[in-house]
Amino acid sequence: MRENALRLGFFAALLLLWELVVRLGIWPDYLFPGPLQVFEALRLGVEDHTLLYGIATSLRRFVLGFSVSLVIGIGLGLFIGSIRVARETVGVLLVGLQSLPNIAWLPMGLLWFGLNDGAILFVIVMGVINSVAMATADGIRNVPPLYRRAARTMGANGVALYLNVVLPAALPSIMTGIKLGWTFGWHALIAGEMLFVSLGLGHLLVMGRELSDMAQVMAVMMVIIIIGVVMERFVFAPLEHRVRRRWGLERA
């Protein structure tokens, strides 16, 4: 209860500060609208369904791309973390690819898939795979050898060893990679949607800019931030809590 009151107080103070800055008239309203104008833009976006459709479109693309990325990334991480040759070859390649900004994959995606969802999904996948694969590989490598020896002593080998011992032990590290992957993938999605007509949240940002409607731009930005907070508070935080509690890293 105290934490909730603290959060509410903080955001209320933030809104008051925002309104105060607007009333000082440092910038004209069309460049820096106040909270009431932004909330009005949010209301209009909900009423004419453009904002709701943009949210649904972006989330649909992200869920599809992120799901594919997790399957590929975890599988690749297992491969790299378990085989030394793969770690010295594929692992080094992934480290190098991490220096590429996610949006750098978009030209290739456009040439391969054209101006459609395929290009955006490609950017999401390429933005997520690296973090998930590297975190999974590090988690596999950091599993104490004692766990493996104890499991083999009890008859676990091959697939059973990985499913029942190695993967659960590496789960905290994998969760970190998945959380980072969500961030990189979400950034890649919004950036990709901003570069061509895609009807998602990124496209709504561009439409606000082209119409010189800063209230719409800030409203869409607020929606993106809210989605990020919701994902953190109601998806990743509970999952991390369960994993950490399962491994004795956090009290119930």
- Calculate helix-pair angle for 117-141, 106-113, nearest 10 degrees: 130
CA distances for 43 relative to 39, 55, 212, 215, 218, angstroms: 6, 14, 18, 11, 13
pLDDT number for residue 56: 93
Beta carbons of 213 and 204 less than 8 angstroms apart: no
Rama region for 33: left / alpha / beta (φ>0; ψ in -120 to 50; rest): beta
DSSP per-residue string spanning 28-54: -TTTS--HHHHHHHHHHHHHTSHHHHH
Which pair of structure tokens corresponds to residue 240? 């991390």
pLDDT at 71: 92
**Which pLDDT does position 251 carry in this prediction?**
64
pTM of the model: 0.85
Residues contacting 52, CB < 8 A, separation 6+:
45, 46
Examine the pLDDT at 138 and tell me if it is beyond 70. Answer: yes
Task: Kindly report, residue by residue over 16-62, the tens digit of the pLDDT.
Answer: 888 888 888 777 777 888 888 999 999 998 998 899 999 999 999 99
* Mean pLDDT rounded to a whole number for the chain: 85
Which CATH fold topology does 35-246 show? MetI-like fold (1.10.3720)
Give 74 or 28, the one with higher predicted confidence: 74
> pLDDT (tens digit, 9 = 90+) per residue, 92-124?
888 888 888 888 888 888 888 887 888 889 999
